[in-house]
Structure 1
Amino acid sequence: MSQKNSDGKRSARERLQEQRQREESRGRRRRTLIAAAVVVAVLGAGAGIAALVANSGGGKKKEPAGPLVAPQGATGKDSVTIPVGKPAAKSTLTVYEDFRCPACSQFENGFRDVVNELEQKGELKAEYHIVTLIDNNLGGTGSLNAANAAACAQDAGKFSAYHDLLYKNQPPETDDAFGKKARLLELAGQVPGLDTPAFRTCVDDGTHDSWVKKSHEAFGKTSYRATPTVLLNGKSIYADQANPLTPDKLRQMVAEAAKG
């Protein structure tokens, strides 16, 4: 074989080898780019999920733990109603409220005397449904902790007195003072016979936290969206700003229901 042919064949082999090396190099770069794109896509999806979590409340929200324990004497579907007054009363006042809600405090402090008067006469009974809208809207645990403490007071037969005391001492809406269990226990000391070891354990352990959550969920299944929602014999009586409710009007409506 001549030197010229030998050099030609060797050059052809070298060119083929170089071409294969270039193709392999391109293949490696292509695989690297694909892998990088996959990583970016995964990271991007993760960031999107994180954004959704952040927008829905900054990650996992703490949920009340433990079994659902309804307070003593709770009634109604899922036992989320706390009754007050004589069962034989002809009129029923249904109240959905939040212990951190300023408007609820206005209702309670404005109508407490007439409601208590009518309950004592046996003309009116009340059904309380406790919700946690302010915790959900502003953050904190005051609505939940106060509701649990009120349920603990119900266990002790002191719901009405403690319920009224909470509203008399309600902090500003943005002040989560009821989130501090020490404050709830301090207030309990003003209700004769309530500040007992059993009550303190109930408050500290959040015995009724899951029940409070259930009560709030039941409110969400109604057509009502604000607190307080106040019904008399199933009819809303507190939402009409053009015809505001007064204690005298409430007393008159209860008297008319008793006649009918």
Structure 2
Amino acid sequence: MSKGKDRSAQAKRIVAEQKARERRRTVTLWTSVGVVAVLIIAGVIGWAAVANQDKDTANAASPPGTIDDGTAFGRGGGPVTIDIYEDFMCPICNRFEQAAGPTITQLVDAGKVTVRYHPISILDGASSTKYSTRSAGAAAAAAEGGKFYEYHEALFANQPAEGSAGLDDAKLVELGKGVGLTGQAFADAVTNRTYDGWATKVTDTASARGVTGTPTVLVAGTKLASPTAAALSAAVEAAGA
């Protein structure tokens, strides 16, 4: 009788263990399904976001007169190329402009250099209105009106502080009027964000080229370790101008 009880208890334990294993397999299966589902959903959302961003940049309107694969505006016609990647909210860019601007003008006037200005927007997080993108887009609108460099100077002369909202559209339009952009086309391009997508595309291109901060200054393709007026002049002379 005792042996029969033992066999019965053993059988019950075996059945219980089998049921427990089945429950564990079921939990594991549905946990795996849940994880896969979450990953798929995240992937779809991520893909959609990237696809929308790619669509925005792919459809970005390019202002007329751009050079270097549509990423820059040129000044001068000399044999040595200077590339300047700048953000209109970057205070160091402003300091570089104030310190090296006269030297650049002298080099341009002497026919030694071609300057390619790349307005990029890496400091959108430093304002509450994506000012870096908006100002770069406004500069592109100014270029359409033939006043890029004049507007470029005006933006730096009126640079807002990091962490502020940045200049509003009305002020950007007003700065344009101050350099001769009095037509409605410029105002409309600013308020309608006509070239904001272009600014994003230029920023993406700069990143792909290895630009990680502003100002980034290259002379004849070589990055200046220290972007100063003296270093710029020395690099231009070394390049043969």
**Equivalent of residue 209 in structure 2, options 222, 225, 237:** 222
Contact 2:74 2:115 in 1 (8 A): yes
Q: Map Cα deviations across residues 37-82 of structure 1 (whole Å, 9 max, x no partner).
A: x9xx97xx88xx89xx9xx9xxx799658932111111223x1122
Look at both structures and tell me which one has the larger radius of gyration over its CA atoms: 1
Change (3 A) 1:125 1:195: same
**Equivalent of residue 250 in structure 1, options 232, 235, 240:** 232
Residue 154 (structure 1) aligns with: 143
> TM-score with structure 2 length normalisation?
0.73
TM alignment of 1:70-219, pairs within 5 A: 70-77=62-69, 79-85=70-76, 87=77, 89-136=78-125, 139-178=128-167, 180-191=168-179, 193-219=180-206
Change (3 A) 1:105 1:124: same
Change (3 A) 1:252 1:139: same
Q: Which ranges of structure 2 fall in alignment gaps of 5 or more residues?
A: 1-25
Q: Count matched residues.
A: 211
Q: Matches of 1:140 and 1:118 in 2, distance apart?
A: 36
Residue 9 (structure 2) aligns with: none
Q: Map Cα deviations across residues 108-135 of structure 1 (whole Å, 9 max, x no partner).
A: 1111111112112211111112211110
Change (3 A) 1:66 1:217: closer
Residue 12 (structure 2) aligns with: none
Amino acid at match of 2:195: H
* 1:151 to partner: Cα distance: 0.2
Q: Matches of 2:57 and 2:220 in 1, distance apart?
A: 35
- RMSD, matched Cα: 3.5
> TM-score with structure 1 length normalisation?
0.69
Q: Matches of 1:228 and 1:251 in 2, distance apart?
A: 16
Contact 1:65 1:209 in 2 (8 A): no
Q: Matches of 2:154 and 2:119 in 1, distance apart?
A: 15
Q: Matches of 2:87 and 2:218 in 1, distance apart?
A: 16
* 1:164 to partner: Cα distance: 0.9
Contact 1:177 1:183 in 2 (8 A): no
* 1:137 to partner: Cα distance: 5.9
Amino acid at match of 2:99: G
Q: Matches of 1:167 and 1:173 in 2, distance apart?
A: 13
Between the two proteins, what is the percent identity of the paired residues?
Answer: 31
